[in-house]
Amino acid sequence: MPVNPLDNLVRALSRLPGLGRRSAERAALALVRRPETLLDELALALREARQNVRCCNLCGGFTTLDANPCALCTDTLRDDTQLCVVEEPADIVSIERSGGFKGRYHALMGKLSPARQTGPAELRLQALAARVADGRIHEVLLALSTDMEGDATAGFIAEMLRARGVRVTRLAFGLPADSGVGYSDPLTLKRAIGGRMEV
């Protein structure tokens, strides 16, 4: 039986975070109702994002094809001695918005999680060790979530970097439990960065 394209669209939209089945249906119906404006515009934006948005080879944050390493990695005014480790590229956006950090970034692309079968090899930990190995970084600030998996990831990294003589700190509490950096408001994040503690 041929797949109904409208059902297909609803199914694809409902996989997006924050969009349940009902909202996906509403969005899909609005799109096909105005194909020349909404649908074409979205299709073009999706294609452009697919072609041009990349993760930075150095920090893992979002950038474009023609700017890799990204602007945050190449900005000469930022502090090379401080490295902020986050779980997801989106966390970099949140920390930048808080204005509380002026060093470099490193996104792990997840956290250690036995439940999701994410082990050290699935994260960008080797790349982190390599960045710290060149000796320029004095402090690694772990901006990880405050759940068991975030704790385990922080412990693993602290252990990994201890021998390298680098200071490892973690965001002060104040961040909501079981939430990632991405869910914290800018002011809370800025305070958490200011009050960071030795791991």
- Residues contributing to the site for Zn ion (CB under 5 A): 56, 58-59, 61, 69-70, 73
For the CB of residue 56, give the shortest distance to Zn ion in the complex, in Å.
3
For the CB of residue 45, give the shortest distance to Zn ion in the complex, in Å.
23
Nearer to Zn ion, 35 or 69 (CB): 69
Q: How many Cα atoms occupy the beta-carbon half-sphere of 7 within 13 Å?
A: 3
Cis peptide upstream of residue 17 (ω within 30 degrees of 0): no
CA distance 164 to 31: 54
For the CB of residue 108, give the shortest distance to Zn ion in the complex, in Å.
14
Report whether 103 contacts 83 (CB < 8 A): yes
CA distance 162 to 168: 8
Nearer to Zn ion, 58 or 171 (CB): 58
**Torsion angle of alpha carbons 198, 148, 156, 115, nearest 10°?**
-170
Nearer to Zn ion, 104 or 196 (CB): 104
CA distance 157 to 161: 6
Nearer to Zn ion, 83 or 125 (CB): 83
For the CB of residue 79, give the shortest distance to Zn ion in the complex, in Å.
14
Nearer to Zn ion, 9 or 86 (CB): 86
For the CB of residue 42, give the shortest distance to Zn ion in the complex, in Å.
28
